[in-house]
Amino acid sequence: MKQTEICIVGGGPAGLTAALKAAALGAAVTLIDRNDYLGGQLIKQTHRFFGSKQQRASERGINIARELAAAVQNEERITVLTGATVLGYYKDGVITVEQNEQYLKIKPQKIIMATGGAEKSLAFPNNDLPGIYGAGAVQTLVNVYGVKPGNRVLMVGAGNIGVIVSYQLLQAGVEVAAIIEAAPAIGAYWVHASKVVRAGVPIYTGHTIKRAWGEKEVEGATIIRLDGKWQPVPGSEKDLDVDVICLSVGLSPLTELLWQAGCRMRFVPELGGHVPLRNELLETSVPGIYVAGDVSGIEEASAAMMEGALAGLNAAKALGYDAPDFAQQRDNIIKELAELRSGPVGEKIRNGLVKAGLA
Amino acid sequence: MLAQNGIPTAEDLARVRPTAERLARGPVAVAECFQNIPCDPCYHSCKRQAIKPFADINDRPQVDHDQCNGCGMCLMRCPGLAIFVIDHTYGETEALVKLPYEFLPLPNEGDVVDAVNRAGKVVGEARVEKVQSGAKLDGTSVVWLSVPKDLSMEVRHFKIREVR
Ligand SMILES: Cc1cc2nc3c(=O)[nH]c(=O)nc-3n(C[C@H](O)[C@H](O)[C@H](O)COP(=O)(O)OP(=O)(O)OC[C@H]3O[C@@H](n4cnc5c(N)ncnc54)[C@H](O)[C@@H]3O)c2cc1C
Ligand code: SF4
Ligand code: SF4
């Protein structure tokens, strides 16, 4: 069995920053990711990010991922396991991992769970036809593997992900017939929405998908308008000729390992589903297990990086590591995080976080 | 309306539009950013203090059109691709619209392209006067289009014509 001081599950922006901060304080870290590469969702984000100058606004996600991954690889206190899936957490604090068909056991003193989120799906007739994808999956196909999913896409969901993936499909030379959104308003930042609309993609709010059709694969979709009470308006159906339907109806935290570990969980719709309760140190109800990033509530990469930094600092501090400016480092991150969430678009997150606190 | 279809209304635009008198004096930035989102690179990129200081990262950019000389620094940094530079002194009847562009292939200088408005509709034609790209621009090119003056507040995108 392998021993380590801090084990971090997930090498996305949250896990990478957690590893860097913990190692900088002096802790020995093992970082595990099931992908062959580090960076998590960030690796697919070819668009420029928002946020403040300190949080690298205006940089592209993929470049942030590359930089963080290189820093992690260069840090000798961090051991990286890629292509390694964490399978289970056992009562004695042992984590089991599958890598190259080998079964490993790791006994860490502290754990930071940074497993991110998983895409939600949607129920409608024929939703199992080939050609129906999650938006994140399409983004992986296009931006990681350079594969076009089809020629003409219907995007379901006008949140940031639906709108950004639509834009990236256009960049890849794929036509987007429309973006539909059941809610009466666009959820994405309006500047993102405007940029796909002027590139020729209409956004229909108050619309949902009624059914997909096709024999062996998607050949089209019927969309329908919803009234103020979210009820379909008969006669408002419209048929769209598409060969791909892309679902972007939200993410939910990937929490299986936290359930296994017996962390207290609560269903908080604002945060995307069941989330672990945590204290201000980002420690869950199981002492020694910390959380950071989308696994603790679906948010965004800037927040994931700041939470990762906090969890990394706190876990290392709990092991006795310290720095002269520790308090200042931590306070700065807490302040920036509060600022990021302070505006009107952060309201949902603020409401959610109130419910996820560990009293 | 922006929240319903992603297209700013005439009232939205009236709030960010430079005066006719300012437009007549030379290039100027128009920040079409109408929502309070946590984002501030435009403010940090302006060396002329033409963008009012952000008290909070969620503030919206307010361009002081008299301070702004249309240098385009903010246009190149804005992750929302929401800033445009308009120059009404470009020609007798034509204005220059500088816009951020992230599609390939890039147009060639001298090309005549379809001029597209905020709703994605073709509203006329434009000539590509210049294409700025390169490592410093990090993948977002800036395309300079000349358009009839009365379209300078309409044209925000373009389509390369199919060659057959
Ligand atoms: C299309 C799209 C656009 C976005 N645009 C922006 C944006 O403009 N700005 C912004 O700030 N954010 C954006 N985001 C959000 C941002 O990408 C995520 O919020 C962020 O990546 C979350 O970071 P994370 O580290 O929590 O999780 P992730 O990035 O999801 O990383 C989790 C990692 O954990 C690994 N993992 C999971 N389970 C296991 C296991 N059992 N064993 C081993 N490894 C495991 C996964 O392989 C993954 O690498 C966007 C997201 C998408 C999908
Ligand atoms: S165009 Fe130049 S001067 Fe004008 S606001 Fe932008 S950065 Fe400032
Ligand atoms: S940089 Fe662009 S998107 Fe960000 S606040 Fe400024 S104008 Fe808006």
- State yes or no: pLDDT of B164 exceeds 60: no
Q: Which residues does chain A have within 8 Å of residue B8's beta carbon, measured at their own beta carbons? A: 194
Final residue before a domain boundary, out of A247, A278, A308: A247
Give me the mean pLDDT over the B20-35 stretch.
97
A92 is in which domain, residue-wise?
A: 2-118+251-355
Tokens representing A237? 């159906």
What is the pLDDT at residue B163?
A: 67
Give the one of A46, A186, A197 whose C-beta lies nearest to B120's C-beta. A197
Contact A191/B at CB under 8 A: yes
Q: How far is C-alpha A61 from the chain's CA centre?
A: 12
Same domain, B43 and B112: no
| pLDDT tier at B56, thresholds 50, 70, 90 | confident
Same domain, B139 and B75: no
Same domain, A307 and A281: yes
Distance from C-alpha of B95 to C-alpha of B108, rounded to nearest angstrom: 19
3-state helix, strand, coil in chain B (%, to 5): 20, 30, 55
Asked whether the whole model's pTM tops 0.90, one would answer: yes
With a 6 A CB cut-off, is A11 part of the ligand 1 pocket? yes
Tokens representing B114? 């379809």
Same domain, B112 and B63: no
Ligand 3 binding pocket mutation candidate from B15, B16, B32, B39 (most atoms within 8 A of CB): B39
Measured on CA atoms in the order B9, B11, B12, B15, is the torsion positive or negative?
A: positive
Contact B103/A at CB under 8 A: yes
Distance from C-alpha of B35 to C-alpha of B16, rounded to nearest angstrom: 13
Give the one of A47, A53, A342 whose C-beta lies nearest to B56's C-beta. A342
Strand partners, A288: none
Same domain, A10 and A92: yes
Strand partners, B128: B145
Per-residue model confidence as pLDDT tens digits over A265-290: 999 999 999 999 999 999 999 999 99
Which among A191, A203, A226, A305 is the top mutation candidate for probing chain B, defined by the most B β-carbons within 10 Å of its own β-carbon?
Answer: A191
Same domain, B100 and B40: no
Per-residue model confidence as pLDDT tens digits over B86-139: 999 999 999 999 999 999 999 999 999 999 999 999 999 999 999 999 878 888
What is the pLDDT at residue A53?
A: 73
Same domain, A198 and A224: yes
Strand partners, A238: A223
Same domain, B78 and B120: no
CATH classification of the domain holding A145? 3.50.50.60
With a 6 A CB cut-off, is A307 part of the ligand 1 pocket? no
Please give the tally of structural domains in chain A: 2
Final residue before a domain boundary, out of B36, B57, B85: B85
3-state helix, strand, coil in chain A (%, to 5): 35, 30, 40
Final residue before a domain boundary, out of B60, B85, B110: B85
| pLDDT tier at A312, thresholds 50, 70, 90 | very high
With a 6 A CB cut-off, is A86 part of the ligand 1 pocket? yes
CA of A81 to the centre of ligand 1 (A): 17
Please give the tally of structural domains in chain B: 2
Final residue before a domain boundary, out of A202, A229, A247: A247
Ligand nearest to the CA of B63: 2
Same domain, B79 and B142: no
What is the pLDDT at residue B44?
A: 92
Which DSSP string do the residues of A74-95 spell out, in sequence order?
H-TTEEEE-SEEEEEE-TTS-E
Same domain, B94 and B60: no
Same domain, B9 and B59: yes
Give the one of B35, B57, B104 whose C-beta lies nearest to A52's C-beta. B57
Final residue before a domain boundary, out of B64, B85, B106: B85
Does the structure's ipTM exceed the value 0.90? Answer: yes
Q: How far is A337 from chain B (nearest CA, A)?
A: 11
Final residue before a domain boundary, out of A190, A220, A247: A247
Is B58's CB within 8 Å of A186's CB? no
Is A50's CB within 8 Å of B37's CB? yes
Lowest mean pLDDT among A13-17, A53-57, A83-87: A53-57
| Other beta carbons within 10 Å of A63 | 17
Ligand 1 binding pocket mutation candidate from A21, A31, A35, A41 (most atoms within 8 A of CB): A41
Q: Is A189 exposed, middle or buried (0-12, 13-18, 19+ CB in 10 A)?
A: buried
Those residues whose C-beta lies under 8 Å from the C-beta of residue A257, and which sit 6 or more positions away, are A9, A86, A88, A89, A113, A115
Contact B155/A at CB under 8 A: no
Same domain, A71 and A149: no
Distance from C-alpha of A132 to C-alpha of A130, rounded to nearest angstrom: 6
Distance from C-alpha of A249 to C-alpha of A161, rounded to nearest angstrom: 9
Place of tokens 């672990």: A276
Contact A199/B at CB under 8 A: yes
Same domain, A224 and A159: yes
Is A50's CB within 8 Å of B38's CB? yes
What is the pLDDT at residue A152?
A: 98
Same domain, B4 and B72: yes
Same domain, B162 and B146: yes
CATH classification of the domain holding B78? 3.30.70
Which among A195, A305, A341 is the top mutation candidate for probing chain B, defined by the most B β-carbons within 10 Å of its own β-carbon?
Answer: A195
Contact B117/A at CB under 8 A: yes
Same domain, A27 and A138: no
- State yes or no: pLDDT of A92 exceeds 70: yes
Same domain, A242 and A167: yes
Q: Which residues does chain A have within 8 Å of residue B156's beta carbon, measured at their own beta carbons? A: 198
What is the pLDDT at residue A157?
A: 98
- State yes or no: pLDDT of B19 exceeds 60: yes
B57 is in which domain, residue-wise?
A: 1-85
Same domain, B71 and B95: no
Same domain, A30 and A91: yes
Same domain, B69 and B113: no
Same domain, A222 and A317: no
A-B contacts at Cβ under 8 angstroms: 129
Residue of A nearest to B120 (CA): A198
Per-residue model confidence as pLDDT tens digits over A183-242: 999 999 999 999 999 999 999 999 999 999 999 999 999 999 999 899 999 999 999 999
Tokens representing A288? 């020694």
Of chain A, the percentage scoring pLDDT greater than 90 comes to 92
Strand partners, A247: A134, A156
